[in-house]
């Protein structure tokens, strides 16, 4: 059984789709911080492709995921980057600003 959660405060402030994605990002960023992994520019980061997000969240559309990520980035909640070993790999990396330094 898959169970997904979100922070109610995030849902009230940013909407449910953003809250779901933030909950997921926080989980992986906390894990990376605990393991001292994926540190770039003084932040802990996690990465995923939109295809991976579609598999993780089958109830969200590609447009919903893109909209939520763009909204969070435009609001300055998350920051994106590209830290892949291959310059041809365009998988985006994500961090939550002010939470995972």
Instruction: List pLDDT tens digits, range 11-69.
Output: 999 999 999 999 999 999 999 999 999 999 999 999 999 999 999 999 999 999 999 99
CA 55/CA 68 separation, integer angstroms: 16
Q: Specify the pTM.
A: 0.91
Cα separation of 80 and 51, whole Å?
17
CB 76 within 8 A of CB 98: no
Q: What would the mean pLDDT of 73-88 be, rounded to a whole number?
A: 92
Q: Is the pLDDT of residue 1 over 60?
A: no
The answer to whether the beta carbons of residues 59 and 48 sit under 8 Å apart is: no
Q: Name the token pair of 36.
A: 């001292």
């Amino acid at each position: 059984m898959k169970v997904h959660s979100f922070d109610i405060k995030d849902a009230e402030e940013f909407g449910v789709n953003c809250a779901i994605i933030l909950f997921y990002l926080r989980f992986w960023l906390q894990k990376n911080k605990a393991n001292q992994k994926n540190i770039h520019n003084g932040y802990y980061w996690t990465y995923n492709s939109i295809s991976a997000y579609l598999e993780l969240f089958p109830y969200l559309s590609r447009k919903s995921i893109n909209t939520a990520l763009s909204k969070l980035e435009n609001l300055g909640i998350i920051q994106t980057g590209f830290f892949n070993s291959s310059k041809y790999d365009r998988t985006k990396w994500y961090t939550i600003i002010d939470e995972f330094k």
